[in-house]
Amino acid sequence: MSEPQQANDRSGRPAGAFITEYSKPLPHPSPFSKPYWEAARAHEFKLQQCGKCGKFIYYPRPRCQHCLSDQLEWKKCSGRGTVYSYTVAHYAPTPAFKEIPFVLAIVDLEEGPRMTTNIVAPPDKIKIGMPVKVFFDDVTPECTLVKFEPA
């Protein structure tokens, strides 16, 4: 886990200042999603893979949504993908998201699934179809969000 002063300045936050300032919603992991968030905290990108049909899954689920198998294994993944679509938000959907503009995106992961995430880059540098790679944003000492940046 990174120390506060090592907060990555690409996140836009002043280093060392975020512990008390972070007010955006945080994930509350469930028993079946806990490994995902624990991996993110260790700066590893892991997805569930179905032991029966072989497909990768995002978001974490209690069963494979393709074949309903419960034989799901956590696999370390490439953290690479492409931008399927995105928007630049010029307003704060809730007061906590006051740092605007921010980029919300859907990323096609190399392993197959799509995920909702943020792209950490100037909005005018983002294009549909562009390759991106994972960026671990340590938003609090307990929580790391999985974001992406241009590859």
Partner 1 sequence: MSLKRKAAAIGIGEVRPFREPGDETALSLMAKVSAEAIADAGLEKKDIDGVLNAVPFSDPAGFYPASFCEMIGIEPSMLDIVDIGGAIGTGMFWRAAAAIDAGMCNAVLCVGGDLNRPGEAPFPWISLEREFEWPYGYIAPTLGYAMIAKRHMHEYGTTSAQLAKIAVDQRTNALKNPLARFNDRPLTVDDVLNSRLLADPLHIYDIVSPQCGASAFIVVSPEIAKRSKHPPVWLLGAGESSDHSVISYAPSITTSCVKPAAEAAFKMAGLKPKDMHFVQPYDCFTITVLVALEDAGFIKKGQGGPFVMEHDLTYAGDLPCNTHGGQLSFGQAGFAGGMSHVTEGIRQLMGRGEGRQVKNASVGFVNGNGGVMSEQCSIILERQS
Where on the chain is the footprint of partner 1 (CB under 8 A)?
24-30, 33, 59, 84-91, 93-94, 97, 102, 104-106, 114-118, 123, 128-129, 139, 145, 147
Between 20 and 28, CB nearer to partner 1: 28
Distance, in Å, from the CA atom of 70 to the CA atom of 48, rounded to the nearest integer, reads 11
Residue 69 CB, shortest distance to partner 1, in Å, is: 19
Between 8 and 33, CB nearer to partner 1: 33
Between 49 and 117, CB nearer to partner 1: 117
Starting at the edge strand found earlier in the chain, the sheet holding 56-57 runs 56-57, 46-50, 72-76
Between 49 and 60, CB nearer to partner 1: 60
Between 61 and 80, CB nearer to partner 1: 61
Residue 102 CB, shortest distance to partner 1, in Å, is: 6
Give one DSSP letter per residue of 16-68, joined into a string: T-HHHH--S------TTTHHHHHHHHTT--EEEEETTT--EESS--SS-TTT-
Strand partners, 151: none
Residue 65 CB, shortest distance to partner 1, in Å, is: 9
Residue 114 CB, shortest distance to partner 1, in Å, is: 5
Cα 3–chain centre separation: 20
**What's the alpha-carbon Rg for the chain, to the nearest Å?**
16
Residue 51 CB, shortest distance to partner 1, in Å, is: 21
Distance, in Å, from the CA atom of 76 to the CA atom of 36, rounded to the nearest integer, reads 10
